[in-house]
Each structure stands twice: as structure tokens, then as C-alpha cells.
Chain A
Amino acid sequence: MMTASPSISNIPPLSSPIEPFSPEPLRWVAEDGRPVRDLPARYTPELLRELHREMVRAREFDRKLVTLLRQGRTTFYAQSSGMEATQVGLARSIRVGHDWVWPYYRDHTLGLAMGVPMIDLISQCLGTNSDLCKGRQMPHHFGSASKNFVSISSSIASQVPPAAGNAMAQKYLGTDEITLCTFGDGATSEGDWHAGLNMAGAAKAPALFVCENNQWAISTNLAAQTASPNIHIKAKAYGMPGFYVDGNDIVAVMEVCGYAAEWVRAGNGPALVECLTYRVGSHSNADADAEKNYRTRDEVNSWLARDPIARVEGLLAHLGYPVDAEERADLISAVHRAVDADVLKAEATGQPDWRIMFEDVYADTPPHLREQAAFVRAEQEGQK
């Protein structure tokens, strides 16, 4: 199964099928931006510029949201800085709005790249009336039905068995959809992770599992997380191919994840991809002193030197289409203006009131909830 050349329609143009279980992360573009293997024709300067724009947008969105956090306008933020190639590349590997996604909490860049309007993400972080999730979840636990981007649970790896079930339903219904399920490296230690992959494997369900291996689960690094040398090798235990990708190389991410997605779509069963990247920022604002407590500045600097945005810029320069400083500055200020405008728009909608608390617990409202809502109504109206 692993080495067969499957009959696949609609796969990205490739010179040869991509082999799973490579000893080193697969890479198309070196850290200095030079291609290390033939660049498929679809990576035109126009496409690369588009990808670059999306990555910069995500990076600046991160920066702006951290500022909002410091201003006390939101209460939690989990940066994905440094992981833009993985998440933007993933969004380009699936059929957005057709396929389904069971994401994890550090996936707002994936959401943005899938075309979720920035104001939807901001509204969720602010918990305003414009929040599709009605202000019920802490920031960064977004969901959007229009993109089949399923609402996020904080419980680590709890999205994995449902993703298997979602894929089983897609197969049952005879669709050509797949389910993308993302998680960090820490999630792979949870029982639910193994249960979900095992279930998907046994059911031969069209699920693409992607580990965004940023090497840190809060303060626990990969070496402490598992005795396994990497994550993708665990796919062997569940009878599926495991691909190992340089997650800071967006071309590699798109090539491998795009291939894996279509391999899964063709009915071959699930696949696992490990995108090796790095969490440049802290886990969250609850953990703002990462370099003081559990990792070295040198380690962070070594990964900053492997920045995924710089790599795309290097590739564009190599191809003769460099991004100049002015262009980059314009791009950055445009994102900042867009975030500022959306924050104001979201804040202007106000915060949901107490009534929202009693809705959507069930499809109907049982008597005990009606009574509790009446109690709060009296309490709230008494205070006016």
C-alpha cells in the first residue's frame, strides 16, 4: 500500500509519487531560497507572491492580536508565528468549503488562508455579537460552518476520533470529500490520538492527519514527549503512510500535503503528514517568558534564521522577482489597517448579553433551563 503508485485524479503535477517515511523532512526549497529539486510549474511568481502575501498577513495578524491582548481587549492568544508555511500550505492542499477540517487551537492562520474573513476570527477573539460562536468560547477556539471548519475544543487530541468519524460519514455518504485533522506534537501522546488514527485506518476512511510539529507542547519539548525519533513514523502502526515534510518550506508542504490529500481522496485510506516547524512565540500569553524558563534564546534564534516567510522571499529573489522593502512595508501596513478596521467593526457590535448563555445547550429549551433563564432575567432586570 505504501509504495504503490495509486491511480489519482487531480493530483498536483509531480514528476514522481512522493515516498512516505523519508528519513529527513522532504524539502523543495533550501533555507536560502534556492530550489533543491525541480520546482513544479505551478509555482509561478504570481502564485508565490500570493502565498507570500498570505503568510505576511498571518504574521502581522498575530502581531496585532498580541497587541490587543496586551491592551486587555482580549484575554488569550496562541501565536502561530513561524508556522505560516505549514498552515498556509495546508489551506492550499485541500478543497476549501468542500472538504472538512477538524483543527486545533493554534490554527487561525489556517483559517485565514482558507478564506475565513478576518473579522470572523477577530470577533471570536473579542467575543462580540459578530462572533459566529456567540461569545461562548475563549479566544482562539473558532469555528465556521461555511468553510466546514469545525469549532475547536481545548481538550487536546479530542478532535482526532471525531475527524475519523467525519471521514467515515463522508465515505458512507459516497462523497469525494476528505477530512483534514490537525494537531500539535503534544497531541500525539494522547490516547484519543492513537484511537482516532487506529479507527480511521481500520475503516479506511478518507482522513488526512497533519501534525504541525512545532516541537514544544507548552514547556515540554519533543524529546520529552516521545521516545520516537519523529511523529510520522507512528503512522506505520495504523497501516497508513506517514510523510515527513519541512514545515517551513511552503512548496514542500503544498507538494506533500496536496499529494497526500488526493491520495486519501482516491480511496486509499487515511494518511499522516508531519510538518516540522517551530513555535517561535510563546505557547500563549499564559506562558510569556518561554526563553526565561524552559528553552534557550539560541534555539529560538536558530529557528528565526529558518523563517518560512524569508524563504519564500529568497525563492522569489532567486527567480528574479524579489520583494523589495517598500513593497513589504506596504503589505504590512495594509494588514495593520485591515485589522484595526475590523476590530472597530467587531467592537461596535457589542457583547452578547445573558440570553445567549441559555441558547444552544439543546435544540430545544427544557423546563429547567427556562426556569434558570427566568431567574437570571429577574436578577439582571432588577439591577437596572
Chain B
Amino acid sequence: MTATQDRSAQTGQAQTGETRILTLIQAVTEAMREELARDDRVVVFGEDVGARGGVFLATAGLQAEFGPRRVFDTPLSEASVVGAAVGMAVRGLRPIAEIQFADYMGPGFDQIISQAAKIRYRSGGQFTAPLIIRTPSGGGVKGGHHHSQSPESYFTHTPGLKVVMPSTPYDAKGLLKAAIRGEDPVIYFEPKRLYRAAKGEVPSHDYIVKIGEGAVRREGTDLTLVGYGGVMPDAERAAAALAAEGVSVEVIDLRSLVPWDRELVLSSVQKTGRAVLVSEAPRISNFMGEVAYVIQEQAFDSLLAPVGQVAGFDTPYPYVQDKVYLPGPNRITAACVKALNY
């Protein structure tokens, strides 16, 4: 079974209808284009997203198509980009704010945690902020530590936010559409090294990928490999390498971190008895620590080996050494072998 078929099976999408091969970033753009056309409340803004189309070109062509009222540049201030999104959402718009790099969420952090995440709760549901913050994250593009970090744990640690990270064009489009149509603030991380590296079939018809549902990329019986975002192609490469050695690895893409698909992961681990968790964020307080905790709590009797983890290191993200820093297929394979030989 191919990964594409697996994914379709997981998301329950009909295989009928036209599909095209898009890159991940094209899928992001297409989701915004379709939602801008569908709903006049949707606006897209951020630094250099207008005429420039964004530094990665995620918003290319959108201002030309929808005009500067709907798609516009802002001052260079992440606090005001996020803060303005909060105010717009409270007043009834569906803002899609771009933070140029996840590394620059810092100046907007208080707006995210004090305003976006809490306004529904603190107002007793009188005010809500359904907004999307799109931001490229992760390494692998020779960006050094201010253009390569994976800050998702800061946000998964804040109740009131939903946090997602697609790894395929299909999911990129479907998750972004689900976020735009949802009622909660969503931090939407885009694994930047997959922007053009990840290509895949994307239906022409309208669809969403429900936030909170993971996907099985490859079925297997010996070990469960769980990842999300930029590490997914390497996780699949590791699984393929192990398959050549006669080991059957099940590969799960979380897609959503908050909420995450515990049922999918637990049922897989109960079947395989082994789990290796892969991400590129630093190890301490890594989101996968929560996944590991839930596995040992809920599936302890099924485990044949300790839960393995492959993560970034607890150093700032390095420039020259980023190939060493990132979990590659070899390190993932080695972690699987260790679990298998336990």
C-alpha cells in the first residue's frame, strides 16, 4: 500500500474526482486562495506577504487576485501582527497571520498566550478569537538558529491553542482549511524544508483534514514509529530500510499535536509492542515526552521495549552542523533497531 493510499484511507476521503500533484507550499497557497474566495471574512496579512508573496512565496499571487484589502503587508512587528489578528478575530473576521519564521514568534508570544489562548476562557465564552498563525518552522535550510528552530512545545504547553504541523501537501491544505473554518486559535507550523521537497496528490474538490486526527503512513506489525512535520520523510525512509531487512514498521504522522490522536497511537503500540518517537525539537520538554508518557501509562502491558525517542539536541540549532543535529534516517533506524533488540 502506498503512503498516499494509506493517507486517503485514514482521512476517509473519496478517491473519486480529480487530483493534481502539488508541493506542500502550493497546497498552503491553494487553501488560502480557496478560503479567501469562499469567505469574505478571511484576510491574509503579515510581513512581506503582499506584493512580495512572502519570503517563501506562500502567499504568491494572493494580493494580485484578492487586492490589498484582503491580503496586505504589516509593519515589521510580530506583536502587532498577532495582536491585530486577535482583535480582528474578536470583531468577526477570520484572520490568517503569517509570522515569517517561527523563530520570530517571540515578540508575539504574549499576544498568543495572554490574548489568543485565553480570551474565550476568561470571558466565559463571550469573546472568541478564531485566528490562524501560519509560520515556517524547523531546520534543514541552512538558516542557523534564528531560522531553523522548532518551538512547538511552547504552544502545546498553552491550553486554549490548537497546534498542527502537516508533512504532506494533502494535509497542508486540509488542515489549513479546517483551521480557518474552526472556532479556535490555531498555530499552524509549516515544515519549511518540505515546502518544495514534499509533493503529493491534492484533490481538486473541497475537503478538510480534521484537527486532532493522525494518519498511518505505512502499516506494520513490529514497531510503531511516530513523528510529525519535517522528520516524516526520513521516518518513512527508515521504515523502508527496515522493511528490506524484514522488519515491519508502522509509521504514524501525528499531523495535530493539540489535540493529538491518542487512540491511533495507542492502538498501534498495543499491536506492535514497540514505539519510537521522532521529532527535531530539542529533547527537554519535547512534545513527544507527552506521547511517551501516555504510551507507558495506557499501554504498559503491551510494551516489549522502552519507548525510544529521537529528537533534536539540547543545544541551540547549529548552522554548519545541521545535518548532524537533525534526526536523519540512519539515527531513526538505529533507534528502531535498539528497540527491536531490547
Residue of A nearest to B263 (CB): A367
B90: which A residues are within 8 A, CB to CB? 150, 162, 165-166
1/0 per residue, CB under 8 A from B, across A130-155: the answer is 01111011000101110000110111
B84: which A residues are within 8 A, CB to CB? 161-162, 164-165, 168, 199, 203
Contact A158/B115 with A165-B83, A169-B87, A170-B91 known, Cβ cut-off 8 Å = yes
A100: which B residues are within 8 A, CB to CB? 91
Closest Cβ of chain B: how far from A230's Cβ, in Å? 24
Interface-centre pick from A163, A173, A360 (highest chain B CB count, 10 A): A360
B110 touches A131 (CB 8 A): no
Which of B16-24, B72-80, B306-314 lies at the interface with chain A?
A: B72-80
Between A and B, 20 residue pairs with Cβ closer than 8 Å are A102-B87, A133-B124, A136-B121, A143-B127, A153-B115, A161-B87, A161-B111, A162-B111, A166-B90, A168-B87, A168-B88, A172-B93, A195-B77, A196-B79, A360-B124, A361-B120, A363-B130, A363-B182, A363-B183, A367-B262
Closest Cβ of chain A: how far from B258's Cβ, in Å? 8
B122 touches A133 (CB 8 A): yes
CA distance A364 to B69 in the complex (A): 32
Is A366 in the interface zone, CB < 8 Å from B? yes
B122 touches A153 (CB 8 A): yes
B259 touches A367 (CB 8 A): yes
Is A368 in the interface zone, CB < 8 Å from B? yes
Is B246 in the interface zone, CB < 8 Å from A? no
Is A113 in the interface zone, CB < 8 Å from B? no
Candidates A131, A161, A368; contact of B79 at CB < 8 Å: A161
Is B160 in the interface zone, CB < 8 Å from A? yes
1/0 per residue, CB under 8 A from A, across B78-104: the answer is 011011111111111101000000000
Closest Cβ of chain B: how far from A236's Cβ, in Å? 17
Residues on A facing B (Cβ under 8 Å): 100, 102, 131-134, 136-137, 141, 143-145, 150-151, 153-155, 158-170, 172-173, 179, 191-192, 195-196, 198-199, 202-203, 359-364, 366-368
B74: which A residues are within 8 A, CB to CB? 199, 202-203
Residue of B nearest to A150 (CB): B127
A366 touches B259 (CB 8 A): yes
CA distance A61 to B79 in the complex (A): 36
Closest Cβ of chain A: how far from B285's Cβ, in Å? 17
CA distance A143 to B121 in the complex (A): 11
A196: which B residues are within 8 A, CB to CB? 79-80, 83
A165 touches B184 (CB 8 A): no
A191 touches B79 (CB 8 A): yes
CA distance A203 to B79 in the complex (A): 15
Is B204 in the interface zone, CB < 8 Å from A? no
Contact A160/B126 with A170-B91, A367-B259 known, Cβ cut-off 8 Å = no
Closest Cβ of chain B: how far from A175's Cβ, in Å? 9
Contact A359/B125 with A164-B87, A172-B69 known, Cβ cut-off 8 Å = yes
Candidates A131, A166, A195, A362; contact of B80 at CB < 8 Å: A195
Is B59 in the interface zone, CB < 8 Å from A? no
A145 touches B127 (CB 8 A): yes
CA distance A141 to B77 in the complex (A): 27
CA distance A58 to B313 in the complex (A): 57
B259 touches A202 (CB 8 A): no
CA distance A164 to B74 in the complex (A): 12
